[in-house]
Every structure is written in structure tokens, then in C-alpha cells.
Structure 1
């Protein structure tokens, strides 16, 4: 009878059921994390140059780690389902070791992405400094940043980081190339018709609000970086919060085998 009781505890259907359910959620979440971080690395908002020049592009490094972790969560959680159903001690041990390794990597991914996001969007001064330094500069980085800012200003109908006054309040590469009396801000700050013709170039040059974009572009840039960070960090943290109790249940299950 004692042997039968031990066998019953060894194969506790409640614990097995919890492990199976927990790992199914982990493997599905792993697939979602994989897809989400592939989207991040594709850089749909195309803001990587801003982060790359600052040296704070580890949001994308975190995304590459999360791609590995997402797929690994899927594979190891699938293995964990089989290990729980088989009630095999060595399989459960292997599951725990592999899951712990992935857990550590995913923690690194989440923390790295969030801390570098905070550096970029907590204050617009860094992005403003980049814009003033590189926009219109005759360097490879300058040409890349100029194309980026031109695209953002056209698509988002904005001007500068905080507004047009960024271009006249500070010294900039654009100001050195184009005197203020010629044009105080980039011509792409001007409102345009559907045919991409300025509504009134002279009105734009003198700063008339009907012909000039007065909104800054920082809100769009911050939204893009935040979107990437939410996908990597906060979804990753949610998976980690779910994975921890599943691992604890697996540890308990291991001691009963």
C-alpha cells in the first residue's frame, strides 16, 4: 500500500496538469515573443540610425536576444510538456536547467532594452543634439541622419525635435550650410500641397503658422522607441513572471519523482 501511495504521489495528476497547462502558455507566449521581436528588428519605424549614432542601439540587441529566447521558450516548454507527462526525473532536470538558462538570457534582454530606451526618450535634448550636429553634415552619418529627418518631417508633418525654433535657437550644421536669412529651418518644414509644392515658401521662411509645421517630431520618435521597448521588455517581463511559478512547480515535481 505504501508503494501504491508513493506511485500516486509521483504521478500527481494535479501537478502534472499544472505543468502541462503552464508550459503550453509558455510555448505560445514564446512564439508571440519571437514574432514580436522579429518585427522590432525589422525596424518598421526606421529609427535605428538615431539610436546607432548615439551608441544606444541595444534596444535592438535586446530584440535579437529575445528572438533566441522566444524560440527557445517554445522548444523547451514543448519538451517540458512531454517531460511532465512522462514523469521522468532526468527529463524534468534537463527541462529546469534549460529553462533557467533561457530565463537568465531573457532577463538580460528585458533590462537592456528598457534601460537604453529610457536613455533615448527621457529627454529630447540628446535627439536634438544629434539633429543639430548631423543634419546637412557632409559625412556618411550626416547623410543618413538627413534622410531620416527628411522622411520623418514629411510623413509626420513636423519640424525639428520640439519645433522649428530648434533650428534657430542653437548652432547647427544646417545653419552653417544655409544662412538664417536664406532659410532658418529646412524647407521640408514647410506645409505642402498634394503635389509636394510648398503652399507659400516665403510665408514658411518668415514663420507663418499657416505655412509651417510647428509641431516637433520628438513625440513620433519616442512613440517608435516605446513601441519597440514594450514589445521586448514588458512582454518579456510578463513571460518571465509566468515562467517563474511554472519552474517552481517543476522543481517541486522533480523532488517527488
Structure 2
């Protein structure tokens, strides 16, 4: 390959690494957003140990920033036209690539387990809500916040609390469902306490919360997994071009 063609190829490698560096930095940012759990739904997945979406986010924080740094190093190696530096670049990128594959796959498969249907979420809701334990308090606070914010009740509907056995029913037999299932005044007091207990129309939230939970966990998965996969495709294409450039170096 002539000197002019090699120089042109070098600039292509530099440009692709610059784009990949920006993509890696963006992955780093969105992974931090997921790990920070802005919607505060971690207890729903964490209580049963099925928190791989968040584990994937922590891996993606590392891989995103590592992609950024390594791509900068790749730009330096390409400009230096050094085979030794390019080899180091390839080795580091391959290791990071494997870690990011693990992160994306972990988040995607865990999402399918959590939101494939409402039964898993419903089961732990009925088991832990109202329980006087650390996990129980976390689940209770999480569900109260979700039901009040999204104006929903139970996983599929308020009937979840009546049809199935629950910790709430055992501890508070006079309550058919949590008070968070009912509308409140601006002062956060119940609008109609007696109407709430009997499920009066217009007071009790009738829709389930599962769609909201599914939507949030899906957003987390898209951020960690599917964006991660898109970064992997970009990095793979960058590595192919960089390999062609490497083979032309003397």
C-alpha cells in the first residue's frame, strides 16, 4: 500500500476511534444512571437476588470508561504508526470487549426473567409487603411509592391482595389492600378512609402496577444492554479497520 493510502487509512482509524471513544463515554454515563436507580426499583429485583440488570450496569460503567481511554490510546498508537502499540491496543480492546459482552447479555437475560410475566413481581410483593424485616421494609416503601406515584394497586389489580395469601392479610386482616392503593388529598391524607377499605369506585386505584415496573426495567435494560450491543458493533467495526491498518504497517 502506498504512503498516501496508508495515511488515509490512518485517519479513518483515528476517526473511528474518536467516535468509539465518545460512544464509550456515553455508555459510561447511561450505566451510572441505571446504577443510581433513579426510579428506586432496585428492591424489587434485589430482594430475590435477581439484580443482574444493576450488576450489568456496574460492569458497563467500567467498560464504558475503559473503551474511552483505550480508544484515545488507539488514536495515539495509530498516529505513531507503531505495530507494538497497536498490538497493546488490540489486546486491551479485546479484554474490554468480552467484559461488555457479559454486561449486555447479563442485563438482557435478567430483564426477561423479571418482566416476562407479572407472577415473579406479584409473588415477592405478597410475600414481603408489610413484613417487619429489612427486606420487607424496603419492599413496602418501594411499593407504596410506586402505587401512589402511578396511581395503581397490586401487580395486576387490587384483586391480587384478595385472591392470594399475603403477609399484609395475615398481619392486618381488616385491610383488603394497602392504603397506598387509594387516592389522597394534597395534604397526603386519605381522601376517603372508609371508602378505601371497601374499594369504593373513584377512590381505589383499579389498574395494576406491573406495566409501570416493566417499563422502568425495560428502560434500564435498553440503556445497559441494547446500547451496549450497539457500542460493541461500533467497536468491532473499528477493530476490523484497525487490523487492516496494522497489517499494512512495517
* Aligned residue-pair number: 249
Unaligned runs of 5+ in 1: 1-5
After TM superposition, list the pairs within 5 Å mapping 1:128-167 onto structure 2. Answer: 128-167=122-161
Deviation at 1:128, TM superposition (A): 0.2
Tell me the equivalent position of 1:252: 244
Tell me the equivalent position of 1:3: none
Tell me the equivalent position of 2:23: 29
Asked whether 1:226 is paired with 2:241, we answer: no
Deviation at 1:204, TM superposition (A): 2.0
Distance, in Å, in 2 between the alignment partners of 1:219 and 1:143 is: 23
SS at match of 1:12: helix
2:182 pairs with one of 172, 175, 190 = 190
SS at match of 1:251: helix
Tell me the equivalent position of 1:60: 54
Q: Are 2:154 and 2:160, in contact at CA under 8 Å, matched by a contact in 1? A: yes
Tell me the equivalent position of 1:91: 85
Q: What's the CA shift string for 1:173-224, capped at 9, x where partnerless?
A: 0011111xx2211111111111122222222222222110111111111111
Asked whether 1:240 is paired with 2:232, we answer: yes
Asked whether 1:69 is paired with 2:57, we answer: no
Q: Are 2:6 and 2:248, in contact at CA under 8 Å, matched by a contact in 1? A: no
Tell me the equivalent position of 1:205: 197
Q: What's the CA shift string for 1:137-164, capped at 9, x where partnerless?
A: 1222112111111111122211111111
TM-score, normalising length: structure 2: 0.96
Deviation at 1:82, TM superposition (A): 1.2
Distance, in Å, in 2 between the alignment partners of 1:210 and 1:95 is: 63
Unaligned runs of 5+ in 2: none
TM-score, normalising length: structure 1: 0.93
Deviation at 1:230, TM superposition (A): 0.8
Tell me the equivalent position of 2:101: 107
Distance, in Å, in 2 between the alignment partners of 1:192 and 1:127 is: 25
1:170 pairs with one of 164, 168, 177 = 164
